[in-house]
A and B are shown apart, each in its own frame.
Chain A
Amino acid sequence: DAKTTQPTSMDCAEGRAANLPCNHSTISGNEYVYWYRQIHSQGPQYIIHGLKNNETNEMASLIITEDRKSSTLILPHATLRDTAVYYCIVRVFGAGSYQLTFGKGTKLSVIP
């Protein structure tokens, strides 16, 4: 799986948008970008995934650059409960076990 690079930590004011960047310059054509988060040692929670088009769900938006070498996860109105470690993972989408490889992620602190 392609390697990703994320900032170690970020702060965001409560109610503002949190924009979390991720670089994945070696991503291959059959790899998707997945985002998970982990709130204080709870199980990793799936947020969103995408291939090349921008995606939105009830939790977040995912913006992927045209060359697919980087992406941004956007939490539109961050709350204190969004304080967590956010992981950007690239992974093949398809049949097979295709496990996830977690890096250190970005520790997002939402500040009142």
Chain B
Amino acid sequence: DAKTTQPNSMESNEEEPVHLPCNHSTISGTDYIHWYRQLPSQGPEYVIHGLTSNVNNRMASLAIAEDRKSSTLILHRATLRDAAVYYCILRDGGTSGSRLTFGEGTQLTVNP
């Protein structure tokens, strides 16, 4: 599985934007970039995914570098509920429904 590199932790203030980086220099052409997050004492939940173009949904935005070797998850206005571990995962799009391989993720702390 292609690997991703994320900072261990980041901190933000409530109602400010948060940019969570992810490096994936060995990404292959068929790999989708997925983001999941895990709130305390819960299972992970899907946030967003993309292949080449930037993506927006109600939870977040995903900015993908032109060479696809890095990406950034953007939370536009952090809330206390966004405090979680955020996982950046590469998933082979050539094998639909393949498993996700989680790393250690980024622990996001949101200060009131």
A binds B: no
